[in-house]
Amino acid sequence: MPMWAKRLVDVLLSALGLVLLAPLLLAIALWIKLDSPGPVLFRQERVGRRGRMFSIHKFRTMRPDAPSLGPQITIGADPRVTRAGQVLRRSKLDELPQLWDVFRGAMSLVGPRPEVPRYVALYPADIAELVLSVRPGITDLASIEYRDESRLLAEAADPEACYVEQVMPAKLALAARYVQTRSFIGDLTLLLRTVKAILS
């Protein structure tokens, strides 16, 4: 599928999603404010297309001081996660604000998940060039296959090493495969699989 066609689909579907889901977005925002002190949205610098930095948006699921209390990866029953955050993370509803990131052009509906700079610095050069050649996405095959990533890391003796040495390379391989074989039908299939995974 041509890049302009993919971008057109992203704009139309993200705009439609923001309008239709507006009541749900407002309800979640209110829930977060009532559940714990701090901002509704969480912003974090991620590496986007061609290595450009951008701010990704999510509903806040952790305490405001979470970055100073632990690693950037979430491990098992992380005590930094709020009560509302537990539900939002499990249902993936915390990712909904990224529809705005898609609409503004920083992301796509489907594409390799964007990573923080410290982990991108560990990518093999050839894989980094390939994966960063497209806009990052809200969902991809790795997001589906590693839906229980935090539980997997919690079972490791060294969660950080497990992520860097096992999880990240596997996810990168899936991301590279997506870039090499991407198509409209493939994107549609991944969107439907994502919805099915969330509902189940």
pLDDT of residue 67: 67
Average pLDDT rounded to a whole number, residues 114-132: 96
pLDDT for the residue numbered 72: 67
Question: How much is the pLDDT for 112?
Answer: 97
Distance CA 17, CA 40 (A): 19
pLDDT of residue 55: 98
Residue 3 CB neighbour total at 10 angstroms = 10
Q: Hey, what are 142's tokens?
A: 């790795």
Domain ranges (residues) in the chain? 3-199
Q: How far apart are CA 46 and CA 172, in angstroms?
A: 16
Dig out the tokens for 116 from the structure: 């923080």
Return the SS3 of 63. coil
Among 137-141, 156-160, 171-175, 196-200, which is the least confidently predicted range? 196-200
- C-alpha–C-alpha distance, residues 163 and 153, integer Å: 7
- The pTM for the full model equals 0.91
Instruction: Round to whole Å and give the CA distance between 124 and 105.
Output: 26
**Of the candidates 102, 174, 114, the residue with the CA atom closest to the CA atom of residue 145:** 174
Read off the pLDDT of residues 18-76 as tens digits, 9 standing for 90 and up.
Answer: 999 999 999 999 999 999 999 999 999 999 999 999 999 999 999 887 766 666 677 66
Q: Tell me how far apart the alpha carbons of residues 145 and 163 are, in angstroms, rounded to a whole number.
A: 14
Q: What single-letter DSSP state applies at residue 65?
A: T
Average pLDDT, integer, range 148-153: 81
User: What CA–CA distance (Å, rounded) separates 29 from 33?
Assistant: 6
Average pLDDT score, the chain: 91
> Of all residues in the chain, what percent carry a pLDDT higher than 90?
72
